[in-house]
Amino acid sequence: MDERTRREQGKLYCVYDVPGNEWIKARSLLQKINSTYVPDEARAYFDELLGAFPKSSHITPPFYCDLGTRIFLGQSVHINMDCLFLDEGKITIGDRVLIGPRCSFYTPIHPMDPQVRATGLETCKPIHIENDVWLGGSVTVNGGVTIGEGSVIGSGSVVVRDIPDHVFACGNPCRVVRPIDQQDQKEWNDAWQDYLRDPDTAGMPESHE
């Protein structure tokens, strides 16, 4: 099998011998993205770069990635500035996900054995971020990790194992601190209702869908 197929199957492969010019194309598009301040112009480049980039989603440049074609965003995703996606493995982001500035996603895995590592071969594992997740600034997510629906990851955390649904987790390594429960729902819904009742606000924000 060729190097691309080996990569897709999670086997050792040579990153320099994968067929096609994904890396070179990505460098060209990233240069254009990171040098423009015109949102519509950047969006056209993102459409060409990413595997999926719905119109309801938004990325604030600068933005960095390896290939781009293996990054798949859901609806109403917001990615803040200076994020890094090493997407040899597939990176799937669900709907309504908020990603803070300087977050990093690392799918490549180099061998632990130094002799095998010296060959230059590597493997990779996918990353899955499920719906309604919020990642604080400077979070690092390693390959093979799934972050469950509705969970919040504290700033500066390093996520090396799966995180379940509807929890707050933080730290290095990232650990579950507590569930996100009905008390959280009440507190934030009360704040929301207060916003809606305030005559000096614009009322309900428009949907990004």
Give the active site residues: 110
Distance in angstroms (rounded) separating the CA atoms of residues 90 and 70: 5
Amino acid identity at 127: I
Distance in angstroms (rounded) separating the CA atoms of residues 89 and 111: 15
Is residue 25 classed exposed, middle or buried when 0-12, 13-18 and 19+ CB atoms within 10 A define those classes?
Answer: middle
What's the alpha-carbon Rg for the chain, to the nearest Å? Answer: 19
Tokens standing for residue 76:
């109403």
**Torsions phi, psi of 182, nearest 5?**
-65, -30
Short-list 177, 156, 162, CA closest to 129: 162
Cβ atoms of residues 71 and 94 within 8 Å: no
